Structure 1
Amino acid sequence: MVAAAPQGPVGVPRVVGEVAAGEPVKAVWENEAGGLTFQVGRGAGRRFVKWAPAGSGADLPAEVVRLRWAARFSAVPRVLGEGADGAGSWIVTAGLPGRSAVDDRWKRDPGTAVRAIGAGLRALHDTLPVADCPFDWSAERRLEKARARAAAGRTDPADWHPDVRHVGTAEQALAVLADVPPVDAPVVCHGDACAPNTLVGDDGTCTGHVDLGALGVGDRWADLAIATWSTQWNYGPGWEEPLLDAYGIAPDPERIAYYRLMWELSD
């Protein structure tokens, strides 16, 4: 499956009902691992419960630590609670203004959406302090993870995006990734800069970012490669350069290709 808003009925985990305490509950997102995000309540007081089933591999405590750190500097969800039981783990956060950049409104206006994504990512990179960040998302650290996944037999080229399958086998891909490009500019990366994780306000500007479980210091192209790639999946062809224009940078095909391959093997 592909991460998206659920299209049919969704079972509500016990903890979500407890958080809601009678308020309206709406499932707003489902990821590839079966994780669900629910909106609880409406308007300015709405909250969100991000729930991951046991055994999914999601590390929600790691996201909590990153959210609390990033909230000192940028618009990210404020953590209201967290927990785990035999069924899964969860985070409760306060809502932020705006709608996901893949909300139907913005899918009808991709020009505004991609400008908000690019400008919002630039603001995030400019604002989060590299020197104070305790989290690592460098190519070298991710390459260690990619090698471990391959050694455990969890890397299948058939699962890769068609754009990178030409690289060949997992061993050939790891050889490519071993040649790490020089860092263009170190920033605190979002870690999952796909379009859905930017929020866009009614005025068309970025109002915040969500899903920061992989946040850490790395090359800005680690984020930009995925942000531009996701415009293809969400809006169709032709929106990569407008996003980079909004960020304020020219395309770097070599780094884009490298970090897209890294994404397929390590994330």
Structure 2
Amino acid sequence: MSVKPLAFIPEHGVLVPERLLALAQGDSIRPVWVNGVGGVTFRMGEGTGRERYVKYAAAGTPESDFAREAARMEWAGRFSPVPEVLEQGADEQGSWLATRAMAGASAVDPVWVARPEQAARAIGAGLRALHDALPVEGCRFSWSVVDRLEGFEARIASGGSPADWGNGYSRFTVEQARKMLCTPPPIDKLVVCHGDACAPNTLLDRDGNFAGHVDLGAIGVADRWADLAVAAWSTEWNYGLGYERLVYEAYGIQPDAERIAYYRMLWDLT
């Protein structure tokens, strides 16, 4: 059974940092997303014509370096619809990344959760559009297996153990998991991957078509299945069972069981 991620749309109880109150300059500000590692996204200036989104992470949290994401977003924006970076900064309390709002709503907006078939197809079509648009040649960012294995080793070094692993991976020992992760399937096709192609990071227009991508902090060159396996998996977390095939169909590819299994394990354990 899949474990639902800890990201969610907040309803109340999210404190607005003082730094963001200053950045709002009197505009409205409200939290719209809390991710699984402590970061919060706020919406500012709704209905003013200067609407923007600001991601904030307290100092010391895993997502506290937004300079990485800003650089990737500025590069990707030359080729594919992603938010325009307005400001990026940090102080002793935390860090933030402000971007101009794009037209469209997240694929996990209640409108699209109620229409999961259409949303799943848009996720697949959008991922294909991203992979086709971003040029591998000239991309200085990597999301390779070798890069990501460092995350597994860091997790073990910090005291992580199989008992903490979900999705059935706890049946493996550390050495078994390491051996499996260090023997990836042959690369199918290198593309510039999104790096977090889960449903919330795809935007849809009013008609349910792909409109853009957000959250590009891990963008980099890798096998396309590194994105595909997780994008399809995320439909289970957000919509329920039965929609994965629509992601693959809209992308224009047949499911590859070996690569799907490998890249889901890599995702979960790194």
For Structure 1 versus Structure 2, the TM-score category normalised by the shorter chain is over 0.9
The aligned runs of 1:170-209 (5 Å cut-off) are 170-209=174-213
Q: Describe the SS at the equivalent of 1:45.
A: coil
* Structure 1 position 64, deviation (Å): 0.8
The gaps in structure 1 that reach 5 residues or longer are none
Q: In the TM superposition, what whole-angstrom CA distance separates every residue of 1:17-61 from its partner, at most 9, and x where no partner exists?
A: 112111111100111222110000124531001001111021211
The aligned runs of 1:1-267 (5 Å cut-off) are 2-43=6-47, 44-58=49-63, 59-153=65-159, 155-166=160-171, 168-266=172-270
Q: Which moved more, 1:101-110 or 1:8-17?
A: 8-17
Q: In the TM superposition, what whole-angstrom CA distance separates every residue of 1:184-226 from its partner, at most 9, and x where no partner exists?
A: 0000000000000000110111111001100000000000111
* Structure 1 position 163, deviation (Å): 4.3
* Structure 1 position 9, deviation (Å): 2.0
- The answer as to whether partners of 1:140 and 1:180 remain within 8 angstroms in 2 is no
- Rounded Cα–Cα distance in structure 1 between residues aligned with 2:230 and 2:163: 19
Q: Describe the SS at the equivalent of 2:31.
A: strand
- Rounded Cα–Cα distance in structure 1 between residues aligned with 2:215 and 2:208: 20
- Rounded Cα–Cα distance in structure 2 between residues aligned with 1:103 and 1:42: 17
Change (3 A) 1:200 1:72: same
Percentage of matched positions with identical amino acids: 54
Q: In the TM superposition, what whole-angstrom CA distance separates every residue of 1:125-181 from its partner, at most 9, and x where no partner exists?
A: 00000011100101122123322332332x333333324334x12221111011121
Q: Describe the SS at the equivalent of 1:130.
A: coil
- Rounded Cα–Cα distance in structure 1 between residues aligned with 2:168 and 2:210: 29
- Rounded Cα–Cα distance in structure 2 between residues aligned with 1:11 and 1:145: 30
- Rounded Cα–Cα distance in structure 2 between residues aligned with 1:130 and 1:151: 33
Q: In the TM superposition, what whole-angstrom CA distance separates every residue of 1:238-258 from its partner, at most 9, and x where no partner exists?
A: 000011000000000111110
Change (3 A) 1:140 1:132: same
Q: Describe the SS at the equivalent of 1:83.
A: strand
Change (3 A) 1:52 1:245: same
The gaps in structure 2 that reach 5 residues or longer are none
Q: Describe the SS at the equivalent of 2:203.
A: strand
Q: Which amino acid aligns with 1:45?
A: R
| RMSD between aligned residues | 1.3
Q: Describe the SS at the equivalent of 2:137.
A: helix
- Rounded Cα–Cα distance in structure 2 between residues aligned with 1:178 and 1:46: 44
Q: Which amino acid aligns with 1:50?
A: K
- Rounded Cα–Cα distance in structure 2 between residues aligned with 1:139 and 1:225: 14
- Rounded Cα–Cα distance in structure 2 between residues aligned with 1:206 and 1:88: 32
Q: Which amino acid aligns with 2:29?
A: V
- The answer as to whether partners of 1:130 and 1:187 remain within 8 angstroms in 2 is yes
TM-score by length of 2: 0.94
Change (3 A) 1:210 1:40: same
- Rounded Cα–Cα distance in structure 1 between residues aligned with 2:168 and 2:173: 14
Q: Which amino acid aligns with 1:4?
A: F
Change (3 A) 1:165 1:250: farther
Tell me which stretches of 4 or more aligned residues in structure 1 moved more than 4 Å: none
